[in-house]
Structures are given as C-alpha cells and as structure tokens.
Structure 1
C-alpha cells in the first residue's frame, strides 16, 4: 500500500488543541500563579524595588490588570476601549498590596463572567485589539497570557534579588 504524504482538505483537518474551557483554565492558571507572585512581595518592595530600570512590580501588575480587563471585554464584544480609568494600565496602583490583590481578583471574576459570552466563531475573527494590534481573537488572548508570563518573569527576578523564594513556576 502506497502512502500519500500530500495534504488534502480531508487530511489537513486536525482536532483542536484546546477547547475554549481549557484555554480559560490555562489563562486562569497563569493568573493564579501571578497572584501568588504578588502575594510573595514584601509590601514596600512591591511598590519601590526595581532592577536595571525596570518598573516596580506594582506597575507591572497594573499593566497586566489594565490589559486583561478591557482585553476580555474586547475579546467578548469587540469593545477595545479602556473605559474605566481604574483599569487603565497607566493608572497608579492602589496604595496597598491587598487592594491590588482585590483588583486582581475582580478582574479574574470579570474574565470568568465574560468568557461564556464569547461566541465560538469569535476566536478566529480578526480585529485590531485596542485599535492597534490586528490579529485573530485567539492570538490576542495568547498575547495577553504571554504578556503576563513576561512580567511575572520580571517579578521572579525581583523576588530572587530580594532573597524571597518565588512560587514554583509550574504550579498553576
């Protein structure tokens, strides 16, 4: 029997790598780990410590919050405005780490609330996220996750420099 190695429409179809539920769980697993990184910071260092000109982790956290909240709204409804200035990533963080964690938790619930409202076909649609970044909705979600991982990595460097053992990166 001869094997045909060319791809046809019939052979090019493959099962989905992620269900939408699995993608949400993946994102929320990263968010839970990032939350533990925030918790690990000493209060003063959360707001003031930096290395090599990088922003303090409180500002990095506000960027993650400021992208996730309007990001999920954009993903769900196509509304890419920043809207609420509290959720704008350029907004200074609240004065205590606990207030930042409360805001983090609020955004986590917001993601959980809006996620079921995303139409399945929406993931393959293309839009300019925040009016600037043309991509599929799926790739925009992956960007939001990647951005968080990137900044969490900076938090790991900070924690190690402070002599604080960060949470295990694989424990999501």
Structure 2
C-alpha cells in the first residue's frame, strides 16, 4: 500500500492583482444586470417579500465602498456617502445608481494598490463588528455581490427579460 503525504507551500493560489481583476470582472457583470432593469421595476419589483433590486444594489455599493475604505484606512464608511444603511442618502434613479456603481468601481481601483501584502492576512473587525482576516472579508464582499446578482437574474427572468450571460465577466 502506497501513501502520499501532502505538502503545503506558501505559494499563493491567486495573486492580489488577479483577485482584483476577477472582482472587477464580476462587478462589470453585476453592472450589466443592474442596467438591464427597467427603471420602474428596479424600484418596485419584488418576489416573495425580497427587497427590490435598487436596495440590493445599494447594499452592494455600500459594502464595497465602506469595505475598501475600512481595509485601507481603518474607517469602515463609504466615500462618497453611498451607504445603504444611511437613510439620509437615496439614489432615486437608475442613472444615479449606475453612476454610483462606476464611482465605487473606480474607488476600488484607486484603493486596492494601497493594501500592503501582509494586510490580507491580518484580522480586523470589519464594520466594527465582524472579526475576520482581510482576505476573508474581501471574499465576503465578493460573495455577497454574486448572491445579490443572482437575485437580480431571478427578477429579470420573472419580468421576461433575458439577463446577461452569467459566464461573461469580461
């Protein structure tokens, strides 16, 4: 009987640049899903008590912006003030949401290079309440967006709209 011993190395599975490129490709697809919504349905259509897609997009915007700010500066707040938890900020048109999406996408590109390599393995309480490593917090932001984009696919199909191909992230 032959047994093998697994060895581990410190070689990263994915580089920081590759992670960013993958996240931004997913953000591009999420933007196309957002753009596919008719204006009225973006703010009014819901299934089974789920939030409307403008609220889901607001959550994605707030988490990405505040998440990147927190990771880089330690201040877990949005910039500009896009936080979906803030009742004083309302994006009331699809154009405003798409513009905010583009601002946050640019913000991610500006802030990402400011994350030192060692920061990814540090533990911090994201948003002051969720202790985890920075890489796991980033993965949560990524996963949350994919989850809500999936809800957008369901909404679009229920509205009779063919959503963008889920595999087309480029």
What TM-score does the superposition give when structure 1 sets the normalisation length? 0.91
In structure 1, the residue matched to 2:4 is 5
2:95 alignment partner in structure 1: 98
| Residues 137-163 of structure 1: CA deviation (Å, up to 9, x unaligned) | 000000000000010010000000000
Distance 1:84 1:37 in 2: 23
Structure 2 match to 1:54: 50
Distance 2:43 2:81 in 1: 17
- How has the CA–CA distance of structure 1 residues 83 and 105 changed in structure 2, closer, same or farther, with 3 Å as cutoff? closer
> Aligned to 2:12, which of 11, 16, 19?
16
Contact 1:77/1:118 (8 A) holds in 2? no
- Aligned residue number for residue 30 of structure 2: 34
Structure 2 spans left out of the alignment, 5+ residues: none
| Preserved contact between residue 29 and residue 168 of structure 2 (Cα < 8 Å) | yes
Larger Rg: 1
Q: CA deviation at 1:30?
A: 0.9
Which of residues 123, 126, 147 in structure 1 aligns to 2:120? 123
Report the counterpart of residue 143 of structure 1 in structure 2: 140
The residue aligned with 2:65 is 69
Question: How far apart, in 1, do the equivalents of 2:30 and 2:143 lie?
Answer: 12
Number of positions where the alignment pairs a residue of Structure 1 with one of Structure 2 = 166
Secondary structure, aligned partner of 1:87: coil
Structure 1 residue matching 2:81: 3-state secondary structure: helix
Contact 2:69 2:79 in 1 (8 A): no
| Root mean square deviation of aligned Cα | 1.6
Shift of 1:88: 1.2
* Larger CA deviation: 91-100 vs 146-155: 91-100
CA distance in 2, matches of 1:77, 1:122: 11
After TM superposition, give the deviation of residue 93 of structure 1 in Å.
Answer: 3.9
